[in-house]
Amino acid sequence: MRKRDKLYTIARKTNTEEAWSKFKACRKCVKQRVRKAHSVYKADFLEENIQENPKAFWNYIKSLKQDSTSIASVRHQGVLTSDPKEKAEALGDQFSSVFTKEDLDTRPTLGNPVTPPNSQLHISVAGVAKQLSDLNPNKATGPDGLHPRLLKTVSTQIAPVLQSIFTQSLATGDVPEDWRSSNISPIFRKGDKSLPSNYRPVSLTSVSPVSLTS
């Protein structure tokens, strides 16, 4: 960081392309090293406290949960409201009104498949653990409340359980009920922020099943 600051001072004084290039390269390197050091610190903290100090561990996990305050007041039944429940109802009504409901009675016949069937898939415990360890710890939490950073930290311990669930799901063609739900996050597009029609829904599903297909 001292080197970065020194290069910045030189670039300001000389104002040459070469000086600014050296400063920007050093600044980029500093950002990368800070992010890496922070990630290592958090990983060491979680691993150290998950068994020795569970209270500190869960206090940190709770601190990761942040309530969204990005939604402005919206119009609900013609009235501008800032009440969280009424805003959720207004946005929910808007998203439901544009949702396409398929008519299951008029589905076309697919006929014979044109591609060969897939061979039997095998999901290994090591493979599940690898997928969990590669999770991005900065992603949002799904409806199950399990943060990606937590899943990443305890990947070895929970891999056998998830492997069993994934294998059974493939064998039965069914998905656990909890994994069928999602949190809907409204994202503002453009225009008047008070109009629910100017928001689009983004579904946040549970991280565990997504990790298998990532």
Q: How many structural domains comprise the chain?
A: 2
Residue (of 91, 100, 97) closest to 184 by Cα position: 91
Q: What confidence score (pLDDT) does residue 208 get?
A: 83
Task: Please identify, among 59, 78, 100, the residue that sits at the C-terminal boundary of a domain.
Answer: 59
Domain membership flag for residue 90:
no
What is the tens place of the pLDDT at every residue in 14-69? 999 999 999 999 999 999 999 999 888 888 877 777 777 888 777 777 766 654 44
What is the tens place of the pLDDT at every residue in 156-179? 999 999 999 999 988 888 888 888
Task: Out of 60-69, 70-79, 103-112, 147-156, pick the least confident.
Answer: 60-69
Domain membership flag for residue 77:
no
Domain membership flag for residue 189:
yes
195: helix, coil or strand?
coil
203: helix, coil or strand?
strand
Q: Are the CB atoms for 94 and 87 separated by under 8 Å?
A: no
Domain membership flag for residue 43:
yes
Domain membership flag for residue 27:
yes
CA 75 to CA 91: how far, in whole Å? 9
Residue (of 152, 165, 178, 83) closest to 125 by Cα position: 165
Summarize the confidence of residues 64-89 as an average pLDDT. Answer: 77
Task: Please identify, among 40, 59, 78, the residue that sits at the C-terminal boundary of a domain.
Answer: 59
Range of the domain at 38: 2-59
Is the pLDDT score of 117 beyond 80? no
Task: Please identify, among 23, 44, 59, the residue that sits at the C-terminal boundary of a domain.
Answer: 59
Domain membership flag for residue 114:
no
CA 154 to CA 4: how far, in whole Å? 37
